[in-house]
Structure 1
Amino acid sequence: MAGRIGLNMNVKKCKHMRMNNRVDAPLKINNIEVEDVEEFIYLGAKVSKDGGGTEDIKNRLGKARGAFRNLRRIWTNGAIGRKTKLTLFKTLVRSVLLYGSEAWKVTKREEQKLDAFQFKCIRRILKIPWTELVSNDRIMQQTGINRISVEIRRRRWNWIGHIMRKETGNHARVAMEWAPEGRRKVGRPKTTWRRTAIKRETRMAGEAGPM
């Protein structure tokens, strides 16, 4: 069908991933079998069969650690001021970590890992030894940098607001509001992006008062 309008597919570069599938027959395009994968990279984000953000969070943490290590000469340079170092951290490390975070479903344990990574980086930038008892709250007051978990929620809700301002028939809005038909399996439902963003965080915001 795509070939009729001039769109030619490179089948060797194509991949497909099965989710909740009942058919295991190979997928072929022009008699060439398409590779069946458990996960793949799309626009820099790792997509996996679990449908969540766990694998992508691991991927982004690895990239952010690499970015932080590559700038170690900056962090140890006494001629560069603290304010400049923190600005570089937010621009060159934090942005790498938070890429695509609006679409993550984040568990409390993952929030702790993300926050721990940031505070570990900032302590090295500020040259705070592990023997010195300085709380994370004090570090946030000194630097003006929020927790990663707070920044993810802020970005997610900005994105949700952007989608909800679109017309009712817009594809992005339809996808966000869509609910599957039928009955789910017995037991506790899985944590999904919508349950994380809309239900849990709305409840948290209500308990904390007006935002």
Structure 2
Amino acid sequence: MKSKVLRVGTQTSEAVMIGDQPLEDVDAFCFLGRNIDQEGGTSKEIKARIGKAPAAFITLGRFWKTRDISLKTKLRIFNSNVKSVLLYGCEAWNASTMCIKRIQVFINRCLRRILRIKWTDKISNESLWERTRQIPAGDEIGRRRWRWIGHTLRKPCGSITKNVLDWNPQGKRSRGRKTQRKTQRNVEKSQRQ
């Protein structure tokens, strides 16, 4: 049976049954090319994407080296074949600045290889992006998120994805600021005073 159970934020460990067969409990699984786990899996997903994108770039190695094809065509192929693999599903990422930097480093390395820029050549990333008409990875992820939200908002009222955007979880947050924990350093500091 292909069905599995991923428990998020639950205390129960009762087996989920279909008929008389219990479903397998898993900590993470791959669905439609996305790695899903209990924490949301953004950093693992980004690592997996950065692992898959070089394979797409390397398969086109002879294409990048040829001088018969214009730079404009090479960049269109890069955006459609390599960047699409790298940024697949980025609309749902909760990406930190460190993860976005990793993505940007990979993109910059590919662009430098396409333009045949050696490591000894001192060219800033901004001039590289200007030359190749690329935008920073963080901005592109933001654009893709807004495009996805716009697509979702244009769906009919009965659509599940549109209803999820309107979802309001019930419950109350505690009022006020979080209380600080007394760490060992704070205790020692208060004792000295």
Q: TM-score, normalised by structure 1?
A: 0.75
Indicate whether 1:91 and 2:110 are aligned: no
Partner of 1:151: 140
Counterpart AA for 1:129: K
CA distance in structure 2 between the partners assigned to 1:169 and 1:27 by the alignment: 29
Counterpart AA for 1:179: N
CA distance in structure 2 between the partners assigned to 1:119 and 1:50 by the alignment: 29
Shift of 1:104: 1.3
Q: Which runs of 5+ in 2 are unaligned?
A: 180-193
Of residues 10, 28, 43, the one that matches 1:54 is 43
Partner of 1:76: 65
Partner of 2:34: 45
CA distance in structure 1 between the partners assigned to 2:56 and 2:47 by the alignment: 14
SS in 2 for 1:40: strand
Shift of 1:46: 1.6
CA distance in structure 2 between the partners assigned to 1:187 and 1:181 by the alignment: 20
Counterpart AA for 1:181: Q
Counterpart AA for 1:62: G
- 1:101-148 C-alpha deviation (Å, 9 max, x unpaired): 111111111111111110111011111111211111101111111122
CA distance in structure 2 between the partners assigned to 1:184 and 1:15 by the alignment: 32
Shift of 1:29: 1.7
Larger radius of gyration: 2
- Aligned ranges 1:119-198 → 2 under 5 Å: 119-168=108-157, 170-184=159-173
Q: TM-score, normalised by structure 2?
A: 0.82
SS in 2 for 1:13: coil
Counterpart AA for 2:21: I
Shift of 1:45: 1.6
Higher relative contact order (CA 8 A, sep 6+): 1
Give the number of equivalent residue pairs. Answer: 177
RMSD of aligned alpha carbons: 2.1
Partner of 1:112: 101
Q: CA 1:171–1:131 in structure 2 vs 1: closer, same or farther (change >3 Å)?
A: same
Q: Percent identity?
A: 38
CA distance in structure 2 between the partners assigned to 1:106 and 1:23 by the alignment: 30
Q: Which runs of 4+ in 1 moved over 4 A?
A: 184-188
Shift of 1:81: 2.9
Q: CA 1:161–1:52 in structure 2 vs 1: closer, same or farther (change >3 Å)?
A: farther
CA distance in structure 2 between the partners assigned to 1:187 and 1:43 by the alignment: 39
2:35/2:41 contact within 8 Å kept: no
Shift of 1:153: 0.5
